[in-house]
Structure 1
Amino acid sequence: MPLIQNYRELPEDFYTQVWPEPLANARLYALNQDLMTQHHIHLAETDIYQLCRGELPATLQPLAQKYTGHQFGYYNPDLGDGRGLLLGQWLTPNGQAFDWHLKGAGRTPYSRRGDGRAVLRSVIREYLASEALHALAVPTTRALAIVSGPETVWREGPEMRAMLLRVTGSHIRFGHFEWAADQGVDQLKTLADFVITHHYPELLNQADPYAALLKEVMQRTARLIAHWQSLGFNHGVMNTDNMSILGETFDFGPYAFMDDFKIGYICNYSDTGGRYAYNEQPNVGLWNCQVLAQAFQSLIPNENQRNALLDEYIESFNSHYLYLMRLKLGLQNPHPKDKHLIADLLICLDKHRVDFHVFMRSLAQLDTPHECWPQSQDYQAWLKNYQQRLELETLNTNERSQLIRNHNPARVLRNYIAQHIIELAEKGDDQVIDQWRKWLSTPFEDDDSVWTKVPKPTEKGQRLSCSS
C-alpha cells in the first residue's frame, strides 16, 4: 500500500498506534472519482473499499493523534482521535502529501466513554458538505469514500454504522499546539518545526519562522471564516480541536447553509447559548486564534508581537469579507460606503426572513422583480442605493449579471436536501450519494429544478445536534 507515515517523525507521546475495528459485511456507498483523478490515485476500487472498512494491510502504521482543546470555551485536556485513525499520507506525482484518515474506525485510548463509531447519516453529511465547499472554492478537508454495513450504532436511536475515508493536507489542529504547549517548550518547538517543514516550507528562511507560522495560520483562518460568512454557512462547533492549522473547514457536525437569512442563526440545537451562531463565527475565530497565540507564548514571548498578529486577523477578515460580498453584489471596484450597503442589506434580509441564496442570485436580473424580494420601504430604499452604486461601476448589465451568477450558487446543500439523500441511502440506495456529489460539483450552473427554489416552510431551518 503506497502510503507513508511522516507523523511518526514526531515523538511517540504525540500519538498511539491503533488498529481499526473493521466493519463486517460493509458496502461501498460512495467513491469520489473526481478526487481520485485529481490526486492521481490509481488503486483498485476493492483496495479503497478494504481500507475504508478498516481491513488494513500489515505494512500500514495507523495511529490516533493526541491533542487537547477548548470545547464551548472550556479547556478539555483529555481529547485526541477518539474515533478516527491516521492511516498515512498519499504522495501525488508532484510530491504533495495528503493525509488519509479513517473516521469511525472504533475505540482508541482517547475515546473516553465513546464507542469510536460513526453513523451513515453523519458521514454522508461530511462527504457532501466537504465536496460542496470545495466546489465553492472554500478551503476544506475532502472525502474519498464511504462504507456502511448492518452493524447497529446508538445515537438518538439505532443507526447504521459507517466509515469515512477523509483526505486533507494535515489533521493537525489548534488543539495539537495547546497540548504541546502544556508539555513544554521542547515539545512545542518540535511540533512547530514539523508543521513548518511539512506544511509551510516557504517559512523556513524567515527571520522569525514561528511568528510567520502563527501569522499565516491566523490569516488563513480569517479568510476561511470570511468565506463562510459570505455563503451563509454556519459550522456549528468551532471548538479549537476543530480548527485546522491549514485554515480549512474541518470536522463537519451540525453545519448548515442557512435558508432564510438570520443574523443570529444557530444550526446546532445543542448550542443553547449561541456561542457558535452564524454572527458569532468571526469573533470565535479570533478567540480561537487568541488561544493559539497563547500556546505560542514560549516561542513568541513578546506579547505585543502576538497582539499585533491578532490585529492582522481582524484586518484580514474584514478586507476579505468585503471583497467577497462585493463580488456577490456584482461590484468590482471598492467604494468607502460598500460596508454600509452590505450591512443595510443583511439587516433587511434578517428583518423580513428572506431566503439568502435565492435572493442574492436573483440580483443578476435586477430589471425583473423576484417574488422573494421584500415588499417594504426599507428594501426599496436599499435597492435605490444599490442601483446608484452600480452606476459607479464600469461593467455592463450582462457582465454584472454574470459576475453575480459566478459568486452566488444556485445549487446549495441545504439541510433538507441532505436529509433527503440520507433517507434514500439508509434504504439501500448506494448511487444517490455520488449522484448528488456530482450535482454539487457545479454550484453556479443555472438550474430550474425544485432543489434550487425557496424551500417550503416545513423544509427550512432544520437544526441538528453534535451527534450529526
Structure 2
Amino acid sequence: MNHFTNHYRQLPSHFYQVISPEPLIDARLVHYNRSLAAEIGIDLNDQQIRQLTSGEAMPEDFTPLAQKYTGHQFGYYNPDLGDGRGLLLGQTLHNDRSWDLHLKGAGMTPFSRRGDGRAVLRSAVREYLIGEALHYLNVPTTRCLSLCHSPEPVYREKIENRASYIRTAKTHVRFGHFEWLAEINDRASFIQLADYVIELVYPHLADEPESTRYAELLREVCINTAQMIAKWQAVGFCHGVMNSDNMSIAGETFDFGPYAFLDDFKIHYICNHSDSEGRYAYSQQPNIGLWNCQVLGQAFAMLLDSKQIEQALDAYVIHYNQAYLQAMGNKFGLADINENDRDFIADSLILMDQSDIDFHHFFKKLALLESEREQQWNDFIGDSKAWRDWQQTYLARTEKQQREHRQRQIQQQTVDFVLRNHIAQEIIENCESGDYQLLAQTMQWLQTPNNPPSELQNNYRHFLEQPNAAMKGIALSCSS
C-alpha cells in the first residue's frame, strides 16, 4: 500500500509555492521503473503511474509545489532561481524511509523566468538512463521512476516532442537552498531547513548538541560530496553543469544536463559545449566540488565559526583524496594501495591522455597482461617505448601480488557496458520514433554492467565495442 505525504510543507511558506502541473496531452507511458518502485514502496499500476507522470491526476496526499532556492551558476550568484520546470509532488514513505517524488517537465512555475517549464523527450530519456547507469556503478545518484511522452511540440534548438518524468531522491534540498536563506539573512529559517535535512538524511545527528550539530552536518555534506565525485572520476563520468544549485545536500548526483562518460581518456575533457572556459571539465570536477562546498560553508557562517567551516572543507580534501586513491588503485589492480601510488596513477593517466586511449577498454585489456590473451594488450597499446616502460614499472609495482588476484580485481572494477553518448542517442532516436523497446532493454542491461547478457552481446554488440571517431567526444548543450 502506498503511503504518500508532502512533509516539505512543514517548512515556512516562503520556501515554496503550491502549483498544479500542466498535464501532457495524449500522454503515453514510455517506461515504468518497477524495480525502483519496489525498492521505495510504490505499487501503482500502469494507468495510475501514467496519470501521475503526465500530471493528469494526483493522489490526494500529494501537494505539488515549486521550491525556491538560489545558487552560483558558472561561478556567478543568481538570486532568481527555483523550480522552473519541475514540481515536488511529495514523498513516499517505505520501511521508515522517505523518498521525494519530483515531476520534471510539469510546466511553468513562478520561477520559470522566460522558460516554458516543459521538458523534451531527448533530455528526459538521457536523465532516465543515467540515474540507473550510475546507481549500478555504485555512484550515489537520483533515479527516475517513470517517463511519459506526448506529441505536443516544444521548441529548443528545434521542434521536439514534450515529455515528463518522475525523479526520486533522498531529498531535493540543494546547496542553493542554504545560499538563498543566507543571502536574505533568515537565520531562523536556515535552522529549520538544517533540522529538516538532519531529520530526513542525517538522522544520526539529531541528538548532537546544537553547538556541534550544524558543524557536523556541514562536515558530512562535504564528505559525501567528496566521495561522490571521487566515484565520478573513477568511472569516467562528467557531470557537465556543477552549479551549486545542482548540488544535492544528500551527496547524490543531481540535475543532469550535458553529462558524458569518457571515450578516449582526456584529462581536460569538456562534455558541455556551453562551457567555453572549461569550468566543469573532467579534470576540474574535484576542485569545483570543493568550491561549491566553500560556497555552502559561507552560507553556514550564519551558524558556524570559521574554524568549524575550515574543518568541514579539510574533510572534503582528505576524504576525496582517500576515496579517489582507493578507487583508482583498485582499477589498476593494485594491492596494499599507499600514497606512493598517487604519482603512478597520475603518470598513467597522463600517458593515456597522450596516447588517445579509450578509458574503459584500457582496463579491459590491462586485465589480459600476463595471460594467454596478452597479445590483445600488446595490440591495444601498440609499439610504444613509453608504454613498454610503463609496463615494466607496473609489473615491478605488482610483482609481489598473485597474478590471478590482480587480474580478477581489475575485471571486477572494469565495466563492459558503458552508457556512452552515442548509445544514449540511439535510444533517444528510437523513442522519438515511438519505439520504446530499446530503452526498456537498456534499463535492464544497466543493472549488470560488468556482465552484459547474451542479448546485448549478440544484437547490440556495437554498444560494447570501442566507438569509432564519429561516435566519440559528443558535446551537448545545457538543453540536453
Worse-superposed segment, 41-50 or 414-423 = 41-50
Give, in angstroms, the shift of residue 63 of structure 1: 0.4
Q: Which runs of 4+ in 1 moved over 4 A?
A: none
- State the distance in 2 between where 1:78 and 1:416 align: 35
Query: Residues 446, 116 of structure 1: CA spacing in aligned structure 2 closer, same or farther, 3 A cutoff?
Result: closer
In the alignment, what sits opposite 2:427?
421
- State the distance in 1 between where 2:35 and 2:287 align: 35
- State the distance in 2 between where 1:146 and 1:191 align: 30
In the alignment, what sits opposite 1:356?
359
- State the distance in 1 between where 2:351 and 2:183 align: 47
Equivalence map 1:90-239=2 (5 Å): 90-92=92-94, 94-183=95-184, 184-207=186-209, 208-239=212-243
Q: Is the 8 A contact 2:71 2:244 kept in 1?
A: yes
In the alignment, what sits opposite 1:50?
51
Q: Is the 8 A contact 2:445 2:452 kept in 1?
A: no
- State the distance in 2 between where 1:345 and 1:57 align: 53
Work out whether 1:408 is the aligned partner of 2:449: no
Worse-superposed segment, 13-22 or 398-407 = 398-407
- Matched residue type, 1:464: L
- Matched residue type, 2:238: N
Q: Is the 8 A contact 1:242 1:251 kept in 2?
A: yes
Give, in angstroms, the shift of residue 347 of structure 1: 0.4
Identity score, percent: 52
User: Secondary structure of the equivalent of 2:160?
Assistant: strand
TM-score normalized by the length of structure 2:
0.95
User: Secondary structure of the equivalent of 2:20?
Assistant: coil
Equivalence map 1:29-40=2 (5 Å): 29-40=30-41
- Matched residue type, 2:270: I
In the alignment, what sits opposite 2:387?
379
Worse-superposed segment, 62-71 or 429-438 = 429-438
- Matched residue type, 2:419: L
- State the distance in 2 between where 1:177 and 1:196 align: 14
- State the distance in 2 between where 1:7 and 1:85 align: 12
In the alignment, what sits opposite 2:405?
399
In the alignment, what sits opposite 1:71?
73
User: Secondary structure of the equivalent of 1:89?
Assistant: strand
User: Secondary structure of the equivalent of 1:357?
Assistant: helix
- State the distance in 1 between where 2:334 and 2:25 align: 54
Equivalence map 1:238-317=2 (5 Å): 238-300=242-304, 302-317=305-320
1:72-111 deviation line (CA, Å, top 9, x unaligned): 000000000000001110111x111100000000000000
In the alignment, what sits opposite 2:64?
62
Give, in angstroms, the shift of residue 401 of structure 1: 1.9
Q: Is the 8 A contact 1:217 1:246 kept in 2?
A: yes
Give, in angstroms, the shift of residue 186 of structure 1: 1.1
Q: Is the 8 A contact 2:335 2:398 kept in 1?
A: no
Q: Is the 8 A contact 1:28 1:430 kept in 2?
A: no
Uncovered stretches (5+) of structure 1, i.e. residues with no partner: none
Give, in angstroms, the shift of residue 382 of structure 1: 1.3
Q: Is the 8 A contact 1:148 1:161 kept in 2?
A: yes
TM-score normalized by the length of structure 1:
0.97
Give, in angstroms, the shift of residue 391 of structure 1: 1.5
1:173-198 deviation line (CA, Å, top 9, x unaligned): 00000011123211111111111122
1:135-178 deviation line (CA, Å, top 9, x unaligned): 00000000011101100000000001000111111000000000
- State the distance in 1 between where 2:383 and 2:157 align: 42
In the alignment, what sits opposite 1:3?
4
- State the distance in 2 between where 1:56 and 1:33 align: 20
User: Secondary structure of the equivalent of 1:28?
Assistant: strand
In the alignment, what sits opposite 1:431?
437
Give, in angstroms, the shift of residue 446 of structure 1: 5.3
Worse-superposed segment, 334-343 or 26-35 = 334-343
Worse-superposed segment, 288-297 or 362-371 = 362-371
Q: Is the 8 A contact 1:355 1:372 kept in 2?
A: no
Query: Residues 70, 373 of structure 1: CA spacing in aligned structure 2 closer, same or farther, 3 A cutoff?
Result: same
- State the distance in 1 between where 2:380 and 2:464 align: 13
- Matched residue type, 1:465: S
Work out whether 1:459 is the aligned partner of 2:471: yes
- State the distance in 2 between where 1:197 and 1:58 align: 25
In the alignment, what sits opposite 1:342?
345
The two structures, once aligned, show a CA RMSD in angstroms of: 1.2
- The count of corresponding residues between Structure 1 and Structure 2 is 464
Uncovered stretches (5+) of structure 2, i.e. residues with no partner: none
